[in-house]
Amino acid sequence: MQPTPPILPSHPRRYSRAFRESPLSAGQIRAAGPAPTAEAFYFEKQMQQQTPLVVLLEDGARVDGVLEWHDSGSLKLRRPDGARVMIYKHAIKYVHKQDSEGPAL
């Protein structure tokens, strides 16, 4: 015995006008993702200004360089010798500008 096919309506479902129109007017642009955080804003500013940074890692290692790129989980620094280093954020103890002293340990 074969199962009976589902009963479909004879006319297509009609939605209200609100579902067919974009909530934004034609001149507005929709954001691609969530609003930027304070951390993202800070890193973007340091990238634009090419600020030399010091990154102290949880294991005590120190990495100096200029921030080239960042995302939610990592940073990419260009060191003074030209080498590029990617650092996972979970391994970072703190970050400060090279001309400041950083936090007292």
pLDDT tens column, 32-65: 666 678 999 999 999 999 999 999 999 999 999 9
The pLDDT tens digits for 75-100 are 999 999 999 999 999 999 999 998 87
CB 54 within 8 A of CB 95: yes
Q: CA-to-CA distance for 88 and 52, rounded, in angstroms?
A: 18
Please compute the mean of the pLDDT values over residues 9-32 and round it to a whole number.
55
Which domains are seen in the chain, by residue range? 35-97 (2.30.30.100)
Count of residues making up the chain: 105
Cα–Cα distance, 54 to 77 (Å, whole number): 10
pTM: 0.62
> Mean pLDDT over all residues of the chain?
81
Residue keyed to tokens 């890692």: 57
d(CA 24, CA 15): 18
